[in-house]
Amino acid sequence: MGSEVKSLRMPDPNRVYRVAQWATGRIGQVSLKALLQSPQFEVVGVYVHSEAKHGKDAGELAGLPPIGVKASRNIADIIAAKPDCVVANMDGANVDDVCRFLEAGINIATSRVDYLEPEKMDQDVRRRVEAACAKGGSSIHASGSSPGFSSEALPMVAVSMSRGMDCMTIDEYADIPLSCPDVQVVDMMGFGRPATGEFDPALLHHHAHGFMQSVNVVAQALGITLDDMQVFGEMAGAKERFLLPGGTPIEQGTLAAQRVTVAGLRGGKPIIQFRVNWYTTKAIDKDWDLRPNGWRLLVEGDTPVDINVTFPLAVSDPQFSPAMAGITAYRVVNAAPYIVEAEPGIRTTAELPTIVPRIY
């Protein structure tokens, strides 16, 4: 997993870590607010891409009082501020900017799935990032809710009560219309199209890209050598016609649920697998046991474990949207001090101490 790690170094409880926030969209704004409100961090920069946000105060972008730190579209301004770590919640891989930060000796904690695990990530990106880490003596760690917590941290904790494992299965459940507008559900995700034929190759790649890395992280942490990985998608049709929240119809028999499986194989059988279950209704023509938003982790072996994780908030609750952004943002924020103290390179969940927040 990357270069050899000499030690697992814990954050210094007496240190104030200098940080910069990269991007201030829905998740980035929640991240920035958390950084500003914690005495563990000093925000010294905000890297934005929007002309409208350039020059705005970091506090204003987070809905807080101004702090005297202005957001910038110029990466040189952020590098000049000399943060210990950039907390990156941006769209797109942005490999050029990632490498500029790392070459300057600035560590990165990110929610991007492009940097989860060296062996299964894009190998051209890996070479560039590892070279940048070596030049700057810096490190990068990618995490979040999924991939991250659900696909790496939770599985490794759950199996810590075992000595033998036959199979681990993590199911993610997402009621898509609860968080996406109709146009995104239909035009971008393909719901309402015929539930037959080839599964969308772009969607398969999207899921495989991150979760293949996560499956490999868990396998390596457990000392399991995988023979191969298998990625496939399944589709289920609606049992009856219904309307999405915005009034768009999903006709009977058209795509109402889709499932993507990323399975690590040993001896021709899955031993670690992650399944993404996206649905617009539970009334489908497949027996998929669709559950509320969250995850189910099932460990089969000498100490069977069945864990269900859900979110006890109604969609109408004003805390729902920030909480859903927080489950991705906060794990990255909490990882920042750990990656500052880590050995240079692409560091995985298995190579860092257990990431926990500092509660004040």
Q: pLDDT tens-digit profile of 2-53? A: 445 555 789 999 999 999 999 999 999 999 999 999 999 999 999 999 999 9
Give residue 7's pLDDT.
56
Sign (positive or negative) of CA dihedral 175, 180, 186, 187: negative
Give residue 202's pLDDT.
85
- pLDDT tens digits for range 241-269: 999 999 999 999 999 999 999 999 999 99
- pLDDT tens digits for range 149-172: 999 999 999 999 999 999 999 999
CATH class of 17-145+323-351: alpha beta
Give residue 315's pLDDT.
81
Rounded to 5°, angle at Cα 142 from 346 and 341: 60
Report residue 355: phi and psi, to 5°.
-80, 120
Give residue 6's pLDDT.
53
Instruction: Tell me the CA distances in angstroms from 348 to 6, 274, 319, one per residue in order.
Output: 14, 18, 31
Report residue 28: phi and psi, to 5°.
-65, -35
Report residue 346: phi and psi, to 5°.
-85, 110
Give residue 57's pLDDT.
98
Nearby residues of 206 by Cβ (< 8 Å), 6 or more positions away? none
pLDDT at 181 over 60: yes
Give residue 200's pLDDT.
87
Q: Compute the average pLDDT of residues 346-357.
A: 96
Q: What is the layout of strands, in order, in the sheet containing 107-110?
A: 71-72, 41-47, 17-22, 85-88, 107-110, 139-142, 345-346
Alpha carbon distance 256, 250 (integer Å): 7
- pLDDT tens digits for range 44-99: 999 999 999 999 999 999 999 999 999 999 999 999 999 999 999 998 889 999 99
Question: Domain-by-domain residue ranges, the chain?
Answer: 17-145+323-351, 163-302
Q: Is-contact 328 145, C-beta < 8 A?
A: yes
- pLDDT tens digits for range 183-218: 999 998 999 999 999 998 988 988 889 999 999 999
Alpha carbon distance 296, 315 (integer Å): 20
Per-residue burial over 121-135, b if 16 or more Cβ lie within 10 Å, else e, is beeebbebbbebbee
Task: State pTM to two decimals.
Answer: 0.94
